Amino acid sequence: MHGLIFRTLEAFVSDVFGPDHWTRAVAQADLPVTSFEAMLQYDAGYFPTLLEACVTVLDRPGSVILEDLGAYLIIHQNHASVRRLMRFGGDTFAELLQSLGDLPDRTRLAVSGLDLPSILVQETIPQSFTIQCADNPIGFGHIMVGLLRAMADDYGTLALLDHRGLRNGAEIIEVQVIETDFADDRGFSLSVAHGAHHQ
């Protein structure tokens, strides 16, 4: 499994709860690794073990941890590039949702070896979307919920997001776009220099 995934979990727990919580989670997980490098590969089996340890140490359900991690990726300054890369998906939140199907391919082009689960998006009725994420790794859907919630805020869009559990081996997320001009759009410019003003 790609180190970026582990590195993100490590950065999230350290930045949000403090490095001591990460140290305790790693000790609890009893893995041969204590700190992860973004650009190395690790045994995929480490991830559920680490997440289980985080559940104990942070005293909250795994789904909540993963949702917060998704939001953290968009909001935290250290990961401003993730927000920018997501904004390449479209000019509106609805366009972004429609572009999610391309996300695994785009990601693989950018970082070979970083394989995201396949994503299928359907606009069931206008402004209502169903997103299916393949079930490997389990819990990816929760990260998507947190990440998309933060992106809706970024676009200034009011949207309701709900993780509906597993259906036919896929995680189901339902999204309802309520109001597109709910708050200020944080803005996005293709040019990094221009985009930096908004971060």
Q: How far is the CB of 22 from other proteins (least distance, A)?
A: 18
Q: Counting contacts by CB under 8 A, is residue 20 touching other proteins?
A: no
Q: Counting contacts by CB under 8 A, is residue 91 touching other proteins?
A: yes
Q: Classify residue 148 as exposed, middle or buried by CB count within 10 Å of its CB (0-12, 13-18, 19+).
A: buried
Q: How far is 102 from 108, CA to CA, in rounded Å?
A: 10
Q: How far is 93 from 95, CA to CA, in rounded Å?
A: 5
Q: How far is the CB of 4 from other proteins (least distance, A)?
A: 8
Cis peptide bond upstream of 126, omega within 30: no
Q: Counting contacts by CB under 8 A, is residue 164 touching other proteins?
A: no
Selected from 126, 168, 169, 193, the binder of other proteins by CB under 8 A is 193
Q: Which two tokens stand for residue 51?
A: 């997440």
Selected from 84, 118, 174, 187, the binder of other proteins by CB under 8 A is 84
Q: How far is the CB of 172 from other proteins (least distance, A)?
A: 27
Q: How far is CA 67 from CA 74, 100, 122, 124, 163, in A?
A: 11, 17, 22, 24, 10
Q: Counting contacts by CB under 8 A, is residue 125 touching other proteins?
A: no
Q: Which stretch binds other proteins (CB under 8 A): 23-31, 84-92, 151-159, 176-184?
A: 84-92
Q: How far is 154 from 118, CA to CA, in rounded Å?
A: 24
Summarize as ranges the residues that interact with other proteins (CB under 8 A).
4, 37-40, 81, 84-85, 88, 91, 106-107, 109-111, 189-194
